[in-house]
Amino acid sequence: MPWFSTEAPALSEQQIRDAVTRLLDEARTRIKRDLKRVLLLPPDLTRAHSGAGKITEMLYQALPECEVAVIPTLGQHVPHTEEENRWMFGSIPHSRIFAHDWRNGVSPVGVIPASLVEETTGGKANWDIPVDMNSMLVDEQWDLIVNVGHVVPHEVLGFANHNKNYFIGLGGKDTICAAHIAAAVYGIENNLGCLVTPLRACFNWAEEKYLQRFPDVYLQIVMRRDEQNKLVTSGIYVGDDLDTYLAAARASREQNITIFDKPIKKVVAVMQADEFRSTWVGNKAVYRTRMVIADGGELLVIAPGLERFGEQPEVDALIRKYGYTGTERVLRLYQTEADMKAIPHAVAHLIHGSSEGRFTITYAPGHLTRAEIESVGYQYADLKQAQARYSPEKMKEGWNTMPDGEEVFYISTPSAGLWATHAKLNDPARRDLVPA
């Protein structure tokens, strides 16, 4: 059973602080330990809009007598700079924030067997997923681990957070690669907005088998848009079990999925410069809108911070070499090309970032050239012109009619939701593996 939840149309800062205090009080009772060493696991800056950084700071401040460490659950994202840590986590000393090293900073925990992967994916994937996790998490002794995160529709696991923070956010290269390619071949549109996807089911199995020794608790955030279209915190869900995740995910499904009767011809999405600097993370605009865009339609992504494609040099090089050119071609190349076989999670990203030729994807980047954008299969738009035409000061969330009569659907924070048609959400190919 979940420990507790707090819900409201918009939670106040005091209500959030009260939830933090209650979590720590209940942890002392339930886990029955003195809290001397505490580990906080927040998301990275690509989810800064969720307020998870502020909540992590609240937890840190509420534990003045403890040795507290913070590991942002980066996965393979670029580690934060000291300035970025200060921006996201406030007063937490930079010396107490540790960067996850997905290549050299992990320890083996176990294996998710190929038989389970094959069973859950209906035979689309049939390989082991090794479970390697952050060594500081696995090899050191903690009195409490608080896993903080934003539950929102997600392209790999249906919804983000919960044990994704462990197996992906603090996972090793082999774990991240094997998991991402399994989810990709199963199909991104079969994952988005499902409570329990095949990969989530595999992670649930692994958590039960390998992580029971952790003295941990999840603090899960759900957000919604208020009447002024501002993102506000609408729920805090605290607990150490699957039901806690399901409660948060059901709330997110209700509040964060916008459903349409028919597809949209043009979507304009903005990826904030302080959070999204690569197409690796900026393509959340593609993932979260693809189920609503009409055949022959267009997605325009305004990305003033965009300066690269991948989060690492080798991933950036792979994207530049092969581009976002569709599942069929990418999987064919994956069978023969050594550089693709070396980093399968990047192959998964190339699949997720393609429209499969169904609609055009246009980027208005801050720091990449037309030649660079077009070389990976996207269309290019001038940033200043795009910002002038679709200015945040002019646009309102949702439908807008431009002076020349063009109708567009404007999304200021695509990473905070999912937009889809009834037909796509109710596609029989989508299987939600929610336990009975």
Per-residue model confidence as pLDDT tens digits over 286-331: 999 999 999 999 999 999 999 999 988 999 999 999 999 999 999 9
Q: What is the mean pLDDT of residues 41-64?
A: 92
* Backbone torsion region of residue 66, taken as left when φ is above 0, otherwise alpha when ψ lies between -120 and 50, otherwise beta: beta
Around Cβ 287, how many Cβ atoms within 10 Å? 21
Query: Predicted confidence band at 14 (pLDDT cuts at 50, 70, 90)?
Result: very high
* Residue 285 pLDDT: 96
Distance CA 195, CA 434 (A): 6
Query: Predicted confidence band at 429 (pLDDT cuts at 50, 70, 90)?
Result: confident
Per-residue model confidence as pLDDT tens digits over 148-174: 999 999 999 999 999 999 999 999 999
Query: What is residue 94's DSSP assignment?
Result: G
* Residue 274 pLDDT: 83
What is the reported pTM? 0.91
Q: What is the mean pLDDT of residues 54-76?
A: 95
Contact of 46 with 18, CB cutoff 8 Å:
no
Per-residue model confidence as pLDDT tens digits over 102-137: 999 999 999 999 999 999 999 999 999 999 999 999
* Residue 317 pLDDT: 96
Q: What is the mean pLDDT of residues 40-53?
A: 88
Report percent pLDDT > 90 for the chain: 89
* Residue 200 pLDDT: 97
* Residue 228 pLDDT: 85
Q: What is the mean pLDDT of residues 32-59?
A: 91
* Residue 435 pLDDT: 67
Per-residue model confidence as pLDDT tens digits over 352-375: 999 999 999 999 999 999 999 999
68 φ/ψ angles, rounded to the nearest 5 degrees: -115, 130
Q: Which pairs with CB-CB distance under 8 Å and at least 24 residues apart come from 313-316?
A: 314/339, 314/342, 314/343, 314/346, 315/76, 315/280, 315/343, 315/346, 315/349, 316/278
* Residue 78 pLDDT: 82
Provide the pairing of β-strand 158-159 with 153-154: antiparallel
As a whole number, the mean pLDDT across the chain is 95
Q: Quick one: fold of 261-426?
A: 2-enoyl-CoA Hydratase; Chain A, domain 1 (3.90.226)
Per-residue model confidence as pLDDT tens digits over 165-220: 999 999 999 999 999 999 999 999 999 999 999 999 999 999 999 999 999 999 99
Collect all residues with Cβ–Cβ distance below 8 Å to 119 and sequence separation of at least 6. Answer: none
Q: Does 249 score more than 60 pLDDT? A: yes
Collect all residues with Cβ–Cβ distance below 8 Å to 218 and sequence separation of at least 6. Answer: 147, 149, 161, 162, 237, 238, 239, 240, 244, 245
Every domain of the chain and the residues it spans: 4-257, 261-426
Q: Does 48 score more than 90 pLDDT? A: no
Distance CA 26, CA 61 (A): 17
* Residue 312 pLDDT: 87
Query: Predicted confidence band at 34 (pLDDT cuts at 50, 70, 90)?
Result: confident
* Residue 133 pLDDT: 98
Q: Which amino acid is at 284?
A: K
Distance CA 85, CA 45 (A): 8
* Residue 173 pLDDT: 94
Report percent pLDDT > 70 for the chain: 100
CATH architecture of 4-257: 3-Layer(aba) Sandwich (3.40)
Collect all residues with Cβ–Cβ distance below 8 Å to 294 and sequence separation of at least 6. Answer: 262, 263, 264, 265, 359
Q: Does 436 score more than 90 pLDDT? A: no
